[in-house]
Amino acid sequence: MKIRILLLGVVAFLSFSNGEAQNKRLLLFDKYTKGTVLMKNRARTNAELNFDAANNNIMFKQNRTEMILTNAHQVDTVYIGDRKFVPIKKVYLEAISTRHGDVYVHWNLKNAYKGKKGAFGMTTQAKVESINTAEFHYGAYENQYVDVYELSNRNEYYLFKGDKTIVVKDEKSLLKHFPARQREIKEYIKTQNIDFAKVDEVIKLLEYCMGMD
């Protein structure tokens, strides 16, 4: 009943159409997970949810039908398992708590199919495809048919400090926001061997930077 009310009155869910001008989906979770959609009017709906990290969509599954959660301006927070997503400026950001404040991740993943790996380790061909993110861990992946995939991570990370918004894409953009602490940050990146393609390592780095103030 709650889902029916949500569909009819609180927020609209649209059936996913392959004809829409979108990238191929990259689901952040290996399966649809129990979650909650909390509306700004405090209405709450439980559903099977997932996150499309290639198109920045909250996905909803009813029976075998996949749908997209629309009208983000009416949504307060989406909880998928123990993960939290909030709509900010027309996109969903994942909110991750650290000891020194929250980091918001703007997921933007692409997966490039590099080709087939032969007996001598040579890789041929190149085209772009999608694969469920559960199948790789922010790096290269080979399946049982020796197809080689490589993740292209274009994530952005947001820090909100008062009225100031800090957007981090890479080391250069991070250092720009902490001009007085560049030497220390560079040293931390070097000693901790921080890889900006790995989300957990970037979160660790940003937690360190926020703790410097």
Q: For residue 122, what are the contacts with CB-CB under 8 A and spacing of at least 6?
A: none
Say if residue 17 is in the same domain as residue 63. Answer: yes
Instruction: Give yes or no: residues 158 and 144 share one domain.
Output: no
Q: Kindly report each contact of residues 171-176 with a partner whose C-beta sits within 8 Å and lies 24 or more positions away, as own/partner.
A: 171/196, 174/205, 174/206, 174/209
pLDDT in the model for residue 125 = 44
> Taking Cα atoms as reference points, which of 62, 98, 58 lies closest to residue 75?
58
Domain range for 66 is 2-88
What pTM does this model have? 0.73
Same domain, residue pair 9 and 43: yes
Q: What's the pLDDT score for residue 115? A: 58
Residue 132 lies inside a defined structural domain of this protein: yes
Residues 114 and 149 in one domain: yes
pLDDT tens string 26-37: 899 999 999 999
Indicate whether 148 belongs to any domain: yes
pLDDT tens readout for residues 92-107:
999 999 999 999 999 9
Answer yes or no: is 93 within a domain: no
114/147 same-domain check: yes
Q: pLDDT tens digits, residue range 50-109?
A: 999 999 999 998 888 999 999 899 999 999 999 999 999 889 999 999 999 999 999 998
Q: Residue 102 falls within a domain, yes or no? A: yes
Beta bridge partners of 148: 115, 142
The verdict on 34 and 70 lying in the same domain is yes
Q: Is 80 within the bounds of a domain?
A: yes
The pLDDT tens digits of the residues spanning 119-176 come to: 444 444 444 444 444 443 333 434 444 555 566 788 999 998 878 899 999 999 999 9
Same domain (yes/no): 102, 205: yes
Q: How much is the pLDDT for 143? A: 41
Task: Report the greatest alpha carbon distance in the chain.
Answer: 60
**Same-domain pairing of 161 and 103:** yes
Are 106 and 158 contacting, i.e. CB atoms less than 8 angstroms apart?
A: yes
Dist CA 55 CA 49 (whole Å): 15
Q: Are residues 115 and 47 part of one domain?
A: no
- Strands of the 13-15 sheet, one edge to the other: 13-15, 65-69, 57-62, 44-52, 33-39, 75-80, 83-88, 91-98, 101-106, 156-161, 164-168
Residue 198 C-alpha from the chain's centroid? 12
Average pLDDT over residues 198-202: 95
Quick check: is 50 in a domain?
yes
- The answer to whether residues 121 and 55 belong to one domain is no
